Amino acid sequence: MTVDDEIYVSPLDAEHRVLGAKMVPFGGWDMPLSYPGGTLDEHMVCRSGAVAFDVSHLGTVQVTGPDALERLQWAFTNDLGKVAPGRAQYTHLLDEADGSVLDDIIVWWLDEETFDVMPNASNTDRVRNAIGGQETTHARAVIAVQGPTARRQLAEIFADAAAVKRFHVARLDWNGTPCVVAGTGYTGEDGVEIAVPADTAPALWRALLGVGIVPAGLGARDTLRLEAGLPLHGHELGAGITPLQAGLGWVVAWTKGDFRGRAALEVEQARGVDRLLTGIATSGRRPPREGCNVLVDGEVVGVLTSGNFSPVLGHGIALAFLPPKTEVGTVVAIDVRGSMLEGNVVATPFVAKKQ
């Protein structure tokens, strides 16, 4: 539903407000940034226990019919032929002209002729225009349960959901309510995402919190994904940024035949990329920030796309597009409002992903 003509609210909006969440606009939605315990605590609980994120702002476009697979194979870079019904796949929608990433997407393949395509919040219309289908975003909430103890705690109230394997998808019932559960997430931790009908979502949310799963906001979701080295659309992906520049060539299935944006991407592949997404670790607790220039030997060589303090590592981390031959260990300086912050190029993820 909407607060006004422009801002949507989650089916869990009242739950967040009762908990004292700090609400902020995000992708056209009013969403929780953090709860009274703060982003740092929420982040660390996800790394050691289990948290629940409301990610209902993510879009859902359901594509059905005998031609659904063919339509998605043409529209997206990855090859659904590598998986099967009951699986999820990460993929990209490209601009046909230059091969840049219009959106990065998770596809939930529910059955032979049914797919739930999950775009980023602000890109839902763009994706639906490319693939057709029916938007079902506002009929459900999506709750991401993430962390090393997520499955164990979730099993106390929804055992079938806790058993859904990584990058698998299943239609399941929770107390008689049909849900879709996928073994996906955006934190570098294990867990699942649960799509639940809007009118049942508050009851499921309260049940999750009732077994000790901690509510977490979009602030922690962002610091977690950055530690895991995961790209964010509008930062590491977007206009002028191709999968090859972002170091995501594995998302491009060259062997499946033609797909939208393939010709432009082939040109770049042949000539080589002129920049590559790179990790940077900085010294001290001062966080590097998006938009700061990166210098090597006094020369500007790139700009930060994301940056923050890493709660796990205890120092700053950032992502930037740098010249492709920049080696791990290269000393860099980051211009933070005229003050230079020292750092080094490092491999990503900054914090190892847990399977």
| 186 and 51 together in one domain | yes
d(CA 247, CA 252): 11
Query: Is the domain of 148 the same as that of 81?
Result: no
In a domain, 2, yes or no: no
| CATH number for 325 | 2.40.30.110
pTM of the model: 0.96
Residues 51 and 12 in one domain: yes
What does the pLDDT read at residue 353?
65
Within this chain, do residues 33 and 168 fall inside the same structural domain, yes or no? yes
Residue 16: strand, helix, or coil: helix
CA distance 65 to 85: 14
What's the CATH number where 66 sits? 3.30.70.1400
Q: Please report the pLDDT score of residue 5 as a whole number.
A: 56
48 plus 82 within the same structural domain: no
Residue 267 in domain: no
Cα distances (Å, whole numbers) of residue 321 to 61, 143, 240, 329: 31, 32, 12, 16
Contacts of 95 (CB under 8 A, 6+ apart): 101, 102, 239, 261, 264
Is the distance from CB of 43 to CB of 224 less than 8 angstroms? yes
By CB neighbour count within 10 A (0-12 exposed, 13-18 middle, 19+ buried), where does 138 fall?
middle
User: Which helix (H) or strand (E) is 317 found in, with range?
Assistant: strand 315-322
Q: Is the domain of 49 the same as that of 172? A: yes
Is residue 102 domain-resident? yes
The secondary structure of 205-253 as a DSSP string is HHHHHHTTPEEE-HHHHHHHHHHTT---BTTTBBTTB-TTTTT-GGG--
Same domain, 166 and 18: yes
Are 98 and 193 found together in one domain? Answer: no
Structure tokens at 126: 């763009």
pLDDT value, residue 354: 56
Task: Supply the pLDDT for residue 121.
Answer: 87
pLDDT, block means (10 residues), the chain with 355 residues: 70 98 95 98 98 98 98 98 98 98 98 97 94 97 98 98 98 98 97 98 98 98 98 97 98 97 98 98 95 97 98 98 97 95 97 70
Residue 226 CA to residue 9 CA, distance in Å, equals 26
Do residues 107 and 165 share a domain?
no
- Do 171 and 220 share a structural domain? yes
Residues of the domain holding 92: 61-128
Strand order in the sheet with 101-111: 87-94, 101-111, 114-118, 61-64, 134-135
CA distance 88 to 150: 19
Integer Cα distance of 295 and 331 in angstroms: 9
pLDDT of residue 4: 47
**Residue where a domain stops, chosen among 98, 128, 158:** 128
Of 128, 161, 182, the domain-final residue: 128
Q: State how far the Cα of 192 lies from the Cα of 198, in Å rounded to an integer.
A: 18
CATH number assigned to the domain comprising residue 200? 3.30.1360.120
Count of residues for the chain? 355
Q: Is the CB of residue 111 less than 8 Å from the CB of residue 66?
A: no
Q: Among candidates 305, 304, 298, which has minimal Cα distance to 331?
A: 298
User: 283: which DSSP letter?
Assistant: S
48 in a structural domain: yes
Structurally, the chain folds into a number of domains equal to 3
The amino acid that residue 351 corresponds to is V
HSE toward the beta carbon, residue 202, CA cutoff 13 A: 11
Last residue of a domain, one of 227, 258, 290: 227
Are residue 278 and residue 314 in the same domain, yes or no? yes
Confidence at residue 352, expressed as pLDDT on a 0 to 100 scale: 85
